[in-house]
């Protein structure tokens, strides 16, 4: 197989393993871990200094929860942007501002998104910190998503630092990757704050 096919197969295998591991988690344990991750993230200097935060809103089983984080950031006076899918092919998303979770509803794609007719797009240059979801990360900051390619296409346009949220079990020795795959600067887990820049 060509190198790209080898990487794709390795990604698929790791993706299935992580989806299975997340589905087997005890929801009560996961809730506690999510609170610990939020506490660790808000202690990060880059979070404290961020005026505008781009934040995914959790929707998938086993995903690190962010609803409370979004509400907290708003009460702290931060400008909060969430992703909205523009097109699926090619994968394109933008950040749009919200002031409350009540502005969100489930889209046809099954994601929490604001009404596009009532939401203001946040320019990428105005974002101070991006909170990135993922199925798996390694300590160099490589990330495995669900395979849509949205973040890998969008992140190069955003100059802000990036932090991935993950459970400890999602931090693996090596995430298969290509040169197009985008990395994060930190990984926050329930047990640790990993500075990925130190491993590069």
The β-bridge relationship of strands 79-87 and 92-98 is antiparallel
pTM score, whole prediction: 0.93
Mean pLDDT calculated for residue range 148-167: 96
What's the pLDDT tens digit per position in 17-64?
A: 999 999 899 888 888 999 999 999 999 999 999 999 999 999 988 899
pLDDT surpassing 80 at residue 167: yes
**Tokens read off for 9:** 């197969």
Q: What is d(CA 165, CA 132) in angstroms, rounded to the nearest whole number?
A: 7
Map residue 130 onto helix, strand or coil.
Answer: strand
What's the pLDDT tens digit per position in 74-85?
A: 999 999 999 999
pLDDT at 135: 96
Q: How confident is the model at residue 1 (pLDDT cuts 50, 70, 90)?
A: very low
**Tokens read off for 147:** 């395979």
What's the pLDDT tens digit per position in 173-200?
A: 999 998 889 999 999 999 999 999 876 6
- Residue among 194, 58, 54 at smallest CA distance from 125: 54
CATH number of 3-199: 3.40.50.10420
Mean pLDDT calculated for residue range 133-151: 95
What's the pLDDT tens digit per position in 91-139?
A: 999 999 999 999 999 988 888 998 877 889 999 999 999 999 999 999 9
The β-bridge relationship of strands 104-106 and 92-98 is unpaired
């Amino acid at each position: 197989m060509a190198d790209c096919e080898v990487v794709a197969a390795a990604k698929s295998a790791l993706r299935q393993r992580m989806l299975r591991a997340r589905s087997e988690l005890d929801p009560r344990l996961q809730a506690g871990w999510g609170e610990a991750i939020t506490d660790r993230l808000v202690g990060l200097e880059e979070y404290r200094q961020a005026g505008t935060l781009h934040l995914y809103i959790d929707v998938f089983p086993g995903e690190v929860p962010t609803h409370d984080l979004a509400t907290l950031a708003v009460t702290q006076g931060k400008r909060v942007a969430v992703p909205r899918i523009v097109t699926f092919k090619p994968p394109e998303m933008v950040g749009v501002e919200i002031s409350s979770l009540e502005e969100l509803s489930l889209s046809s794609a099954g994601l929490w998104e604001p009404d596009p007719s009532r939401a203001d797009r946040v320019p990428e240059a105005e974002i101070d910190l991006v909170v990135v979801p993922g199925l798996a990360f390694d300590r160099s900051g490589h990330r495995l998503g669900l395979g849509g390619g949205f973040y890998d296409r969008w992140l190069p346009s955003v100059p802000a630092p990036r932090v991935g949220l993950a459970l400890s079990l999602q931090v693996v020795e090596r995430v298969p990757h290509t040169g197009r795959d985008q990395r994060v600067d930190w990984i926050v887990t329930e047990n640790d704050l990993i500075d990925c820049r130190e491993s590069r």
